[in-house]
Every structure is written in C-alpha cells, then in structure tokens.
Amino acid sequence: MYPQSPLMGQMMNQPLLVSSILDFAARHYANSEIVSQRVEGDLHRYTFRDCQQRAKRLANALHGLGVRMGDRVATLAWNGYRHMEAYYGVSGSGAVLHTLNPRLHPDQLAYICNHAEDQYLLFDFCFLPLVEAFAPLCKGIKGFILFGAADRMPAETKIPNLLCYEDLINSHSPEYEWPLFDENSACTLCYTSGTTGNPKGALYSHRSTVLHAYGSAMPNALNVSSRDTVMPVVPMFHVNAWGLPYSVPLSGAKMVFPGPALDGKSVYELMEKEQVTFSAGVPTVWLGLINHALQNKLKFSSFRRTVIGGSACPPAMMSTLIDEFDVEVIHAWGMTEMSPLGTAGGLLTKHLDMSKEEQRKILQKQGHAIYGVDMKIADDDGKELPWDGVSYGHLLVKGPWIISRYFKGEGGDVLENGWFPTGDVATIDPDGFMQITDRSKDVIKSGGEWIGTIDLENVAMSHPAVMQAACIGVAHPKWDERPLLVVVLRPGQDLKREDLLAHFQGKVAKWWLPDDVVFADALPVGGTGKIQKNKLREQYRDYRLPTA
C-alpha cells in the first residue's frame, strides 16, 4: 500500500490483536479483579485470568458451532463479565463482535441484525421477551445463547435453537491458542446511535481497537493506571463502552460492571462498596447519581474522576461534580465512527493559576485531540478556518481509529480528501482546545448567520428550575429560522417564560435570544440517552413564533 524503504526496520513482526490485551492482563495483572453486578441480582467477582479462561472456552464453543473468521456474533447485554468474555472470545477467535442496544425497538434490532448478518446472538436472560419479539424477524441467526446457567433457561420458548451459555462453555476446554492474523481484520461492528437518521455500521479492525486503547489510556485522555478501579457506566453496547473493555485490562486496573442497575442509589452503593476511582458515562446517567447523593447528603469516599461525553456536559453538572463532590470531570468528545474517542478536556500548566471560573470555561471545552487523531474546522466550501477560538465550522477528523467508510458502503464515499466529516460544528482555540457548538443538522440558521444550540441549552439548564432543555430552529418569515427553547422543569418547579428569557440577559448575544419558550413534560430521547432533535423539530414543525 505504502512504499517500503530500501532499509526496513528489524523489529519483531507482531500483529496488534485484541486477544493480546486480555492475555496481558491475565498474565501480568493476574490478580486484578472484575466485579459484576449481575442480572441474577448478586455480585460476581473473579480475576482477569478467570475471564481469559472462560473467553477461551467460549472461543472453542463458537468454533464448535461453526463460527469462522469474519462471521458476526451479536450480543444484547448489560455491562458484565459474560459480556466481557464475549468481547474477547468472539473477536479474539477472529469472528466479529456486534453489540446490540437493548433500548432499540424490536423492529430496529431486527433491521440491524439482518443488516449485519449475525450468525449467533448472546443475550442477558432478562432480555428474553425482547429476543422473542424480534427473533422471528431474523431468519439468518442460527442460534441464540442465553447468558446464564441451566436454571435460567425458560421451560418453553418460541426461540428456535436456544442454548445455555454456562452449559455451552463448560462443555468446552479452556485450552485455546488465540489465532494470529492480519491486524486489519475486522474485530467489532457498532452501529451509530441513530440520533440523526438510520443507524449506520462502523466496522473496527483489531489494529484500530488496539491503537485506540493505547491512545485513550494515556494521561491526557482517560489516564487509567493499575491503581484505578474503573466502572464503565456507559454501556458496552454503546461504542464498546468507549473502549474501556480494552483500555482497562491493558492498564491492569480493577473493573467494576454495574449490570442493569443504573439508578443513582445502585450506582452509588456499588461505587462505595468496590471503591471505584474512575467512571465514564453520558450526561443523563450522572443526573440520577448526583440527585441521589445530594438528596441523601452523601459523599464519595474513593470516586475521584469521571469522563463525560456522548453529548455536551452541562456546565451546571460539571460544577456540581467538582464543587460538591470533588470529582474531576474530563469532558470528552467522540463518535461511533471514531471508536469513539477523539478529544479529551483538561487544563494546561498555564491555566493552573487562573480563577475557578476561568478554569471552568476551559474544562467545558471538549479539549485536545488524542495523539493519533488529527482535526480541522472548515467552512461550507471546505476552506480551513483559523484556530482562534471564535471561528466555527464543520469539524473534520482523521486517524487510524476513524472509519474510512460505513459497513457495506452505506452512504457511499464519506471521506472528503481523506478527512471524515463529523457532522459537528466546532471552534478550536490557539492552544488546540476544541469546543463543539452544535451538530450541523441542529444549528439554527438565522438570517445567514449560525446560532449554536448547545450554548443556549446550557444557559437554560443553569437556571435552578430547569431540568432539561433543547433548542431547535423553527421557520421564520424574515430570518428563515429562529430559536425555540423546549424546556422540562424539575418536579414541583414553576417558571415563567419571561423569567427564563430574562435569565439569558448578558449571557448570550442579543440576536441569539430564543424567540419563544415551550414547557414540555419530557423530551424525546433515543437509545443512548440523547435528545432526538429531529423528532422535536417534527413535533414543532408548524409552531408559530410570536415574532413571526
């Protein structure tokens, strides 16, 4: 592909394969633990070495079932040790792990399974009704493997070829040599969240996964060390839990899986019990935890750091975590198409002397590219824009853990001169800090100028009565589009349109002020907890602004 030098290096030729990550943990941090809150209700605890042994049994079992290199094997499961075994047992053997989001509609699940051509499906037994609902629509799936022991198997079921995971792997040996193969072979298949349209598949390679694991473990990114206890709250079906199933064993850290118990109380108690130091999740999951801790006047005894991403972290949330709980917040940005990590926030040395408010402004940016990722911003004509912290434009990225096309070529040639267009709009400042101002599809075009909706939503959410806010563009006869703010109030709170608009005074440019406010009971939310603005736009398509 690329020209060779007349003089080649003389280093060991070893492919970057994810199996080497689990082997590393099992060998070099053999006593590091994986603790899982199980669907069964209890807490399960074993070592990376145990995980490796069972992943190898699974690899043998899959081979016995006829799964071969490149075949897709799907999972439908919460974060837990069996899911972890599937991560390695499937990909390590050369097959392709395809993680499914149980929050999707059965029709969507069937669409994705058929699109992926999954051969087998491994699933948590709590999802049996869901699997029963879409299994008949997936004729290609040869077998369904229930994550559990024989006593969890249903007496009768409509599912054809239902297998018991524990029986299956226990009937196979842990003796298994991970095959060595080309590192560009497919490793995992993830579909995008479907926030802006139909989900599209990203097909990661072993190489991209290992490089992403290196990049994301580094001090400027997630900063995972062997002294950490890491709880991925972000689901393993959401872009591989941001790579933590790879970056944690590679770091020898202890891993704590919350299973299905994601409410504030359960997460808090598990964190304290297992002395979690580091976690990761989308903004919405932190709401519950923060509320639980505030209401019960609880503090964290070990929790020191969390990564928040997937959508913009509201400044109010960041402040609560830092000021009330002394938890450092790393604001990260990424996307399914990027494995997913692209940037991570943090201060530079020169910021350490700044006031808390000034520091907070820096921490709210999505931060620096992780080495491996390059980024730029460009205008509608593709002209690169300056890194002045003010100019905003389409954000484009490139790097070895970014897709070059979607699975099955969906959407055609997506790259622009080798760069992947993220669909996000951003600024980059002279120190290299990137800040997302909006998605291209959500940006409001008012009289030829752009209004970023994230800023407006953050201001609204900084009002104590507001729980959630979404800003959308609504048709306007003079300006084409003007902002409409849709707000969900906290339980028991009351707030007048005028008072909320007054709260914006001095916080945004005058012409950015929303033209109207609508109070709603809830916002439409997708399978990964993101607000579906396309649905919201549909809903308010004929809304008549008072200014119109």
Decide if residue 183 touches a second copy (CB under 8 A). Answer: yes
Active-site annotation holds for 445: yes
Interaction residues for a second copy, span 8-37 (CB under 8 A): 8-16, 21, 23-24, 27-31
Nearest to 178 by CA among 66, 60, 97: 60
Decide if residue 184 touches a second copy (CB under 8 A). Answer: yes
Residue 483 interface partner, choices a second copy, Mg ion, ligand ATP, none, CB cut-off 5-8 Å depending on type: none
Asked if residue 402 lies in contact with residue 385, where contact means CB atoms within 8 angstroms, the answer is no
Q: Looking at beta carbons only, is 134 or 333 nearer to ligand ATP?
A: 333
Residue 301 interface partner, choices a second copy, Mg ion, ligand ATP, none, CB cut-off 5-8 Å depending on type: none
Asked if residue 121 lies in contact with residue 63, where contact means CB atoms within 8 angstroms, the answer is no
Q: Which of 42, 431, 480, 499 binds a second copy (CB under 8 A)?
A: 431
Cα 521 to its chain centre, rounded Å, is 26
Residue carrying the six token digits 């299956």: 168
Q: Which of 155, 352, 509, 522 binds a second copy (CB under 8 A)?
A: 352
What are 521's two structure tokens? 């009971």
Residue 312 interface partner, choices ligand ATP, Mg ion, a second copy, none, CB cut-off 5-8 Å depending on type: ligand ATP
Active-site annotation holds for 408: no
The CA angle 142-147-150, to the nearest 5 degrees, is 95
What are 476's two structure tokens? 């306007």
Q: Which of 402, 444, 451, 456 binds a second copy (CB under 8 A)?
A: 402
**d(C-alpha 451, C-alpha 442), whole Å:** 9
Residue carrying the six token digits 């975590």: 321
Decide if residue 177 touches a second copy (CB under 8 A). Answer: no
Q: Looking at beta carbons only, is 192 or 320 nearer to ligand ATP?
A: 192
**d(C-alpha 499, C-alpha 4), whole Å:** 67
In the complex, what is the shortest distance from the CB of residue 366 to ligand ATP, in angstroms, rounded to a whole number? 5
Query: b vs e for 406-419, b when ≥16 Cβ sit within 10 Å of the residue's Cβ?
Result: bbeeeeeebeeeeb
Count of residues interacting with Mg ion (CB under 5 A): 1
Residue 528 interface partner, choices a second copy, Mg ion, ligand ATP, none, CB cut-off 5-8 Å depending on type: ligand ATP
Interaction residues for a second copy, span 193-232 (CB under 8 A): 202-208, 211, 214-215, 217-220, 223-227, 229
Active-site annotation holds for 337: yes
Residue 422 interface partner, choices ligand ATP, Mg ion, a second copy, none, CB cut-off 5-8 Å depending on type: ligand ATP
Active-site annotation holds for 450: yes
Give the chain's largest Cα–Cα span: 74
What are 109's two structure tokens? 């699940």
Interaction residues for a second copy, span 359-378 (CB under 8 A): 368-369, 371, 374
DSSP-derived pairing of the beta strands 305-308 and 328-334 = parallel
**d(C-alpha 453, C-alpha 429), whole Å:** 19
In the complex, what is the shortest distance from the CB of residue 310 to ligand ATP, in angstroms, rounded to a whole number? 5
**Region of 428-436, 479-487, 522-530, 536-544 interacting with a second copy (CB under 8 A):** 428-436
Residue 369 interface partner, choices Mg ion, ligand ATP, a second copy, none, CB cut-off 5-8 Å depending on type: a second copy
Cα torsion 380, 385, 387, 388 to 10°: value is: -90
Asked if residue 166 lies in contact with residue 151, where contact means CB atoms within 8 angstroms, the answer is no
Please classify residue 167 by burial: count the beta carbons closer than 10 Å to its beta carbon, then call 0-12 exposed, 13-18 middle and 19+ buried: middle
Catalytic residue (one of 445, 449, 511, 538): 445
In the complex, what is the shortest distance from the CB of residue 380 to ligand ATP, in angstroms, rounded to a whole number? 18
Give the active site residues.
Answer: 192, 337, 445, 450
Residues forming the site for Mg ion (CB under 5 A): 192
